[in-house]
């Protein structure tokens, strides 16, 4: 059975009680683009992921990998 991919951006936005609209306004992208990112249709550039991680006050690895516990935090 294939492992189901979980979109970390979608999860973190929900955990932080933030919307796609809020994120779009904060980083200057359209809601449509954010929607494509959270549905895994497209992926944001790494620089944008970094900006999002700063806004949401999370480690960038939390947005990239659902198994972030596998990475050693320094």
Rounded to the nearest 10 degrees, how much is the dihedral formed by the CA atoms of 29, 30, 36, 42?
Answer: -40
Which pLDDT band, with edges at 50, 70 and 90, does 50 fall under? very high
Whole-angstrom distance, CA of residue 25 vs CA of residue 38: 15
Residue 61 clears pLDDT 80, i.e. is over it: yes
2 belongs to a structural domain: no
In this prediction, residue 36 has a pLDDT band, given cuts at 50, 70 and 90, of very high
Mean pLDDT of the chain: 86
Dihedral, 48, 10, 57, 45 alpha carbons, nearest 10: -10
Any domain includes 74: no
Give the pLDDT score at 68: 46
Residues 6-26, buried b or exposed e (16+ Cβ, 10 A)?
Answer: eebbbebbeeeeeebeebbee
Containing structural domain, residue 20:
8-65
CATH number, residue 56? 1.10.260.40
Comparing 34 with 2, which gets the higher pLDDT? 34
Examine residue 41 and state whether it is found in any structural domain, yes or no: yes
């Amino acid at each position: 059975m294939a492992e189901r991919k979980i979109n970390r951006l979608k999860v973190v936005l929900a955990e932080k009680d933030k919307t796609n609209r809020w994120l779009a306004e904060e980083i200057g992208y359209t809601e449509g683009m954010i929607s494509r990112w959270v549905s895994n249709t497209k992926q944001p550039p790494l620089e944008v992921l970094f900006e999002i991680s700063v806004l949401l006050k999370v480690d960038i690895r939390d947005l990239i990998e659902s198994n972030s516990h596998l990475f050693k935090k320094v």
